[in-house]
């Protein structure tokens, strides 16, 4: 059995991780961290775990928690992850980080968008970006994997085949994105309160959102061209799910069948991606680690649609996929 520890165990992505890992035949969850006092049993924090996991959440230092496992899932906010990860790695743990702390390659870009000076800049640029469909080769031997953002992976997975296939222009891609409220985490925030969100629908981060440089960085790296997107996120009054409706410009004439064939070929051997003929719904992938996508024309305009569950393929699902690859298990173990 592989011993696994979870930091930030009281949050939403941690709960999702635990639910997936409880189905994993080769994993034992050996520790869960919180800053809360009194070492609360995990089922008092996440009541859905009652009778399923007998474990207390403990206020452990990263060095202490590293002694309890071979792998760590770091489900902490940005900033808190960089404070923990060097000690986890020094303690011999391999780490999947769900935060944004190691995703961007340039410390200046990180500082601009996250308002923090990066405290572990030497690992930026050398940390593998944890989207296995794109960066799978770097994952098996990686000590640390930077799990992607939920909006970003949904957008990147949808756009990559057509970009790499030379069908679309790298500039001027519009990414119109919508997310359920769990994307904001479990902590108390005014904008996540029921009466603020229910029966409401609005855009946010309209003048710039921190996922935009992450999308630009990865699409540029994968395609070899300088890609820039206009990314506009929206908050939907539902628990979970992400839809990215994307409007790229065609580089050369193409039919819908050619674009679908390009997507299907790109993901032919990728078990968690489904290129579908219908227009996908967030409901199709809710509580799963799949990404569904398709493409349509409206007149001359290409429209790419991609859906994930923000807590599934957008966070915990891809984190376990990365862990499986790092640990040498089949990448879909516990995920399908
Ligand atoms: N939610 C999503 O859909 C999603 C998707 C992709 C990526 N992510 C990323 O995944 C990470 C976790 O997200 P989440 O949604 O699970 O967040 P969350 O529900 O807010 O949980 C994060 C947990 O981290 C702990 N924590 C908070 N501030 C901390 C600090 N300063 N130092 C140490 N621990 C702290 C808290 O536990 P205690 O108070 O018990 O210590 C909290 O329960 C974030 O970086 C987020 O951006 C989230």
Domains of the chain: 2-148+314-327 (3.40.50.720), 151-310 (3.30.360.10)
Question: Measured between alpha carbons, how far is 87 from 82 in angstroms, rounded to an integer?
Answer: 9
Percent pLDDT > 90 in the chain is 100
- Output the ligand 1 site: residues, CB below 6 A: 8, 10-14, 34-36, 75-78, 80, 98-99, 149-150, 182-183, 185-187, 310-311, 314-315
pLDDT bin (cut points 50, 70, 90) of residue 212 is: very high
Do 276 and 256 contact (CB within 8 A), yes or no? no
For residues 221 and 219, what is the distance between their CA atoms, to the nearest angstrom? 5
Give residue-wise pLDDT tens across range 81-127. 999 999 999 999 999 999 999 999 999 999 999 999 999 999 998 99
pLDDT at 215 over 90: yes
pLDDT-based confidence at residue 167 (cuts at 50, 70, 90):
very high
Rounded distance from Cα 220 to ligand 1 centre (Å):
28
Q: Which of 16, 55, 77, 235 to mutate to test the pocket of ligand 1 (most atoms within 8 A of CB)?
A: 77
pLDDT reading at 184 higher than 90: yes
Catalytic residue flag (residue 164):
no
Select which of 57, 74, 93, 150 is catalytic.
150
Ligand 1 atom nearest to CA at 77: 45
Sheet holding 94-97, edge to edge: 57-58, 27-33, 2-7, 71-74, 94-97, 144-146, 128-129
Q: Which numbered atom of ligand 1 lies nearest the CA of 13?
A: 16
**Model pLDDT, residue 125:** 85
| DSSP line for 29-58 | EEEEE-S-SS--BHHHHSGGGTTT---BEE
Classify 116 as helix, strand or coil. coil
Closest approach atom of ligand 1 to CA 183: 3
Which percentage of the chain shows pLDDT scores above 70? 100
CA of 11 to the centre of ligand 1 (A): 5
């Amino acid at each position: 059995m592989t011993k696994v520890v979870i930091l930030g165990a009281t949050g939403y992505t941690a709960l999702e991780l635990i639910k997936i890992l409880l189905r994993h035949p080769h994993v034992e969850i050996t520790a869960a961290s919180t800053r809360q006092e009194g070492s609360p049993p995990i089922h008092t924090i996440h009541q859905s775990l009652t009778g399923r996991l007998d474990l207390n959440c403990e206020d452990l230092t990263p060095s202490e928690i590293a002694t309890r496992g071979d792998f760590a899932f770091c489900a902490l906010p940005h900033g808190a992850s960089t404070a923990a990860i060097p000690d986890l790695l020094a303690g011999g743990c391999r780490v999947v980080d769900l935060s944004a702390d190691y995703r961007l390659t340039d410390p200046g870009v990180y500082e601009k968008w996250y308002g923090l000076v990066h405290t572990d800049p030497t690992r930026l640029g050398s940390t593998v970006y944890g989207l296995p469909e794109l960066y799978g080769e770097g994952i098996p031997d990686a000590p640390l994997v930077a799990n992607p953002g939920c909006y970003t992976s949904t957008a990147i997975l949808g756009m990559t085949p057509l970009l790499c296939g030379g069908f679309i222009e790298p500039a001027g891609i519009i990414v119109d994105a919508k997310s359920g409220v769990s994307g904001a985490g479990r902590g108390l925030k005014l904008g996540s309160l029921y009466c603020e969100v229910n029966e409401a629908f609005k855009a946010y981060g309209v003048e710039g959102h921190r996922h935009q440089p992450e999308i630009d960085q990865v699409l540029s790296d994968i395609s070899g061209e300088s890609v820039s997107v206009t990314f506009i996120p929206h908050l939907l009054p539902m628990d979970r799910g992400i839809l990215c409706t994307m409007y790229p410009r065609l580089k050369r004439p193409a039919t819908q069948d050619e674009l679908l064939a390009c997507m299907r070929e790109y993901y032919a051997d990728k078990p968690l991606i489904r290129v579908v003929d219908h227009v996908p719904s967030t409901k199709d992938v809710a509580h799963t680690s799949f990404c569904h996508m398709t493409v349509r024309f409206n007149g001359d305009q290409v429209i790419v649609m991609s859906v994930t569950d923000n807590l599934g393929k957008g966070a915990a699902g891809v984190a376990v996929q990365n862990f499986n690859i790092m640990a040498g298990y089949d990448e879909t173990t516990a995920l399908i």
